[in-house]
Structure 1
């Protein structure tokens, strides 16, 4: 059952990053470039491909543990960056 939970949540997080990431980065860098937004999507897809190649020989259990940990770290880093606009730059999200 735990594997199903992870498999269900990972695409949701990827969808969140794919939909909000480009506007977040463009707003954070104060740029109008659509290339920067596209780089977010390319980075997301590229990191997924690299992770599959690197983790191909891991056991299923170990891959799920590592993947869950990396997913949590990424979500926490995004929340911290969003919540600390003074230290991390200006927040592109209107409050």
Structure 2
């Protein structure tokens, strides 16, 4: 009940282990996994996903996260190293 109330009030990060939040770009994946967990404990049993559905949801989260990381890596590598970063540009003013 506490987790549901925290999620409803959009304090989602409160339910995560602070050690997990040290990893970069993980919060989105944690929120998605939290949603899977909440679906698994739905008050009405017939609304709960089957284990096969849960496995598929988790697999989809991992695939989506991998694709996002891949796109970010490609974007970073495509940037010209001769261009100043926003931070570098700001310190030169």
- In the superposition, the TM-score normalised over structure 2's length comes to 0.38
If you compute each CA radius of gyration, which structure gives the higher value, 1 or 2? 2
Higher relative contact order (CA 8 A, sep 6+): 1
Higher helix share: 1
- In the superposition, the TM-score normalised over structure 1's length comes to 0.38
